[in-house]
Structure 1
Amino acid sequence: MGPGCSVNYKQLTFTIFDRYGRIIGNYKFGQKWDGKYNGAELSTGDYWYVFKLNDNKDNREFVGHFTLYR
């Protein structure tokens, strides 16, 4: 999983969190999350993300959530 718009934002970073606020992973432009934490598949559940554009002209952040299904 990764953002589809990243080609427009080469400095984009995103962080995935579990429901307890634990950081599951930090990723940069071109990287994708595989649904794992420390090599183990995570269970079905709700997770949150923060996307940071990190662009000189557009430094917005986006926060949201999704459900991972297994």
Structure 2
Amino acid sequence: RNMEGFPEILIKIFDRYGREITVMAIDHTGWDGMYKGSELPSGDYWYVVKLNGERDDREFVGHFTLYR
């Protein structure tokens, strides 16, 4: 929602060990739960959303659970 105002937005997803799983930009279609061609297991994952806007460079962090 309203991501058009942030053309440089980046979303990073990490596993519980801090390993970067994927990096998505505004034109990315989403994350399929895969890492290097393999399905990741159910579990907790963390994200960082960097707005990278001209007037708004906020960063949001959070976590979610992937269920298989």
TM-score, structure 2 as length reference: 0.89
Native 8 Å contact 1:6 1:30 kept in 2: no
Query: How big is each residue's C-alpha offset from its partner over 1:4-61, in whole Å with a ceiling of 9 and x where there is no partner?
Result: 4433322110110000000001111121111100011111000000000000111000
RMSD of Structure 2 on Structure 1 (CA):
1.2
Query: Where does residue 64 of structure 2 map in the other structure?
Result: 66
Unaligned runs of 5+ in 1: none
TM-score, structure 1 as length reference: 0.87
Unaligned runs of 5+ in 2: none
| 2:36 is aligned with 1:35 | no
Instruction: Give the total of aligned pairs.
Output: 67
Native 8 Å contact 2:14 2:21 kept in 1: yes
SS at match of 2:4: helix
